[in-house]
Amino acid sequence: MTQRITILPEIITNKIAAGEVVERPASVIKELIENSLDAGATDISVEMAAGGRRLIRITDNGHGMSRADAMLSLERHATSKIRTDSDLDGILTLGFRGEALPSIASVSRFRLATREPDSLEGTEIIVEGGRVRDVKACGMAPGTVISVEQLFFNTPARLKFLRNPETEAARAADSVLRMAVSRADTSFSCISDGRELLRVQRGDLQRRLDQVLGRDTSGRLHAVESSIGDISITGFISGPSIVRSTTSGMFTYINGRFVRDRVIQHAIMQAYRGVIDRGRYPVTALFITLPPGEVDVNVHPTKHEVRFRRQPQVHDALQGALEGLLRRSPWLSGERQSPRATTIASTGQAYRERIAAAAQASLQMPSGAKHPTFPGRTASYLKPQEASSTSQAPTVGESAEPFEQETSSAHQRGYFSSLAVIGQFHAEYILCQSHDELVIIDQHAASERVAYQRLKQQCRVGGVESQRLLFPETVELSFTEAAAALRFQTDLARIGFELEPFGGTTIILSAVPRLTEGTGATQLIRDILSELNQRGVSAAFQDAVDELLSRIACHSVVRGVHPLDTMQITELLRSMDETDFAASCPHGRPVSHIVTLVELEKTFKRR
C-alpha cells in the first residue's frame, strides 16, 4: 500500500491562502483597514515605504485585542465575526473569513501590537514568514498597530510580479480612497515615503467627497436617494459634463463594501446611455443597501465581487433610481444637489441601521411581494398599475415617480421654454439667452431626442409592430445563441422578431420589427440573443427596443442645415420641456452648450 496523500502543514496552507488574499501591497492595506473598521476605529492611518514593499503600517483607535485574542487572530479561520453557519447569511462586518492576518503574516515580517482600552498594557507579537518569534507586553495607546515589513520576502515569485514602487503606492492609495469614501465617519490618512497622499477628517459624505474628489467635481454632483422594496440606493452622481475615460471615478458599494460588479456597472451605464458618450464613464459614489441574506459576498477571497439572489431586481432598481434623476437633466436648470443630500451619511452606524431596516422590510413584505417587480425594464409588459402594485411603495426620492411616464410631468419647470430666443445660427443652431448665459442648442440633436422619446412612448402603448419578410432569412447561430432563440421565441415575437428553429443551430427569421426597415435585423437579433444569455430578459429587450428607436429617431428628423421660423423654434423648445433626458440626443451627444458672461468677458479680456 502506498500513501501518497498528506495534510499540508499550516505554514504552507497559509502561504497558499495568501496567494489569493494578498496580491500586492494594496490588498494588504484593504484587508487591514477592513479589520480596523470592523473594530470600530474612527481614526485610521496608513504609512508605507517603497510602495509598501519595505513597510506597510496601519494604526487604528479601534477596540483592540486581548493577548489571547491577539494570539488566536493569527491562526487560520480564526474570526470574531461569525460563529455559526447561519451567520454567513447575515454578514454585517467587512471581514468574516479569518484569513487575512495569518495570510499576511505568512509572507512578511509581521508585527502586531494591540491594546484594549481598559487594559494597562498592550501585547506585541512578532511573526516572520508565518512563525511566531516573540510575544511580549508593550506600552501603547489603545487600538491596534500592524506593521508589515518586507512583504513577499519568502515568496520570490510574488515579489517579481510587483510593479515599481510608485505604481504600487498609487494602487495602495486608491485602496485607502475607496474605504475613505465608504466611511465618512472615520478619519483617514495615507503617507507614502514621508509624502502625504491623503488626509480626510470625519464628517458627512458631502464633505468627504469634497475632500477626495475636489469641490470642483463634488459640487456639481447630484444626490440620489431612492428605495424600492428592501433595496435602497443613496449617494451622488455626475451629469454629462463630468465624465472620465475610465471607471476610476465610479465608487460603488454594496452594504458598505466597495465592489467592482458587472451587474452594478451595467445598470449604471444603462441609466447613462444617451446621456453621456459611449466610452465615457460618470463619477459616482453610490451606496446600495439590501438585506444581507440577499447578497453573497463569499464569492471571491478579496470580496470585490458579489452575487445577488435577485440580480435583475437589483439591476433595475439601480438603473431606475439613476434614470429617475437623469431624465430630469437637473444640471440644465442649475438644479444642484437636493438638500437631503447632506443627510446621506456613510457611517458604519448608518449602514448597520439601513441593512437592518432592509432585512426588516424583507421580512415584513407579504409573500406575494417577495420579488417586487421594478418599474422600468420589466415593466414594458406591465401596465404601470400592475408594476407598482407588485412592488413596495417607494419610500423616498426619484423612484416614487412611475418610471413608465417618461414624457410626463417631470419637466414642468420649462427650462427650454423659459429661454429668450435670439435667433438661428448657420441654420443649424438655435441661440438663446438665459440670465447671463448664452445657450446654444443643436437643433438636430434636440429634435432627435424629442422624436426618440415620442417613439418610445408610442411603442410602450402599442408594442413593436412587425413586418413579414418577403424572403425569410436563414441565420446561423452559435450553440448558446440558438438555445436562447428557442427559449425566448415568444418574447422575441413581442418585439417584432418572428423566428423558427431550422435544425441544428440555424433559425429562420420570417418577420422583423417594422422599425428596422429591413436593415441590420440579423445583426440586431444576434446582439439581442447574446445579451439575453448574459443578462436578464427584461434588460436585453429594452436595449433592443431602445436601439431600434434611436435608429429611427435619427433618420426621422431633419439633418444638417435647416432654417426654422420663430414658431418652429418655440415649438421645439416647448417639446424639449416635455421630454425626459432632454439634455442630450439618444446617442449621448449634448443638446445644448452654454457660454457664460464671465467666459465671454474673459475672451474679450475684460476680466
Residue ranges in contact with Mg ion by CB under 5 A: 35, 95, 100
CB 112 to Mg ion: min, Å: 13
When CB distances are held under 5 to 8 angstroms depending on the partner's kind, the choice from ligand ADP, Mg ion, none that residue 60 binds is: ligand ADP
Residue with Cβ nearer ligand ADP (59 or 234):
59
The span of 77-85, 175-183, 336-344, 413-421 binding ligand ADP (CB under 6 A) equals 77-85
The span of 60-68, 152-160, 272-280, 425-433 binding ligand ADP (CB under 6 A) equals 60-68
When CB distances are held under 5 to 8 angstroms depending on the partner's kind, the choice from ligand ADP, Mg ion, none that residue 79 binds is: ligand ADP
99 interacts with ligand ADP by CB under 6 A: yes
65 interacts with ligand ADP by CB under 6 A: yes
- Smallest CA-to-CA distance from 549 within 495, 501, 476, 477 is with 495
CB neighbours of 510 closer than 8 A, spacing ≥ 6?
468, 469, 472, 498, 499, 500
Q: What is the CA radius of gyration of the chain?
A: 28
When CB distances are held under 5 to 8 angstroms depending on the partner's kind, the choice from Mg ion, ligand ADP, none that residue 98 binds is: ligand ADP
Residue with Cβ nearer ligand ADP (34 or 294):
34
Residue 21 backbone dihedrals phi, psi, to 5 degrees: -85, -40
When CB distances are held under 5 to 8 angstroms depending on the partner's kind, the choice from ligand ADP, Mg ion, none that residue 331 binds is: none
Quick one: DSSP state of residue 392? Answer: P
Compose the 405-424 pattern: x for residues touching ligand ADP by CB under 6 A, - for all others: --------------------
Query: Counting Cβ atoms within 10 Å, is residue 567 exposed (0-12), middle (13-18) or buried (19+)?
Result: exposed
Distances (CA, A) of 51 to 100, 158, 168, 174, 595: 20, 15, 5, 12, 44
Residue 44 backbone dihedrals phi, psi, to 5 degrees: -130, 125
CB 47 to ligand ADP: min, Å: 15
Residue with Cβ nearer Mg ion (93 or 447):
93
Distances (CA, A) of 539 to 275, 308, 340, 393, 532: 18, 16, 30, 22, 8
- Give the Cα separation of 369 and 553 in Å (integer): 37
- Give the Cα separation of 451 and 586 in Å (integer): 10
CB 146 to Mg ion: min, Å: 11
The packing angle between helices 537-556 and 311-326, to 10°, is 30
* Of positions 29, 51, 60, 391, contacts ligand ADP by CB under 6 A: 60
- Smallest CA-to-CA distance from 538 within 275, 316, 310, 295 is with 316
When CB distances are held under 5 to 8 angstroms depending on the partner's kind, the choice from Mg ion, ligand ADP, none that residue 346 binds is: none
36 interacts with ligand ADP by CB under 6 A: yes
35 interacts with ligand ADP by CB under 6 A: yes
* Of positions 22, 26, 28, 39, contacts ligand ADP by CB under 6 A: 39
CB 206 to ligand ADP: min, Å: 28
95 interacts with ligand ADP by CB under 6 A: yes
Query: Counting Cβ atoms within 10 Å, is residue 451 exposed (0-12), middle (13-18) or buried (19+)?
Result: buried
Chain positions contacting ligand ADP, by CB under 6 A: 31, 35-36, 39, 60, 62-65, 73, 78-81, 95-101, 144
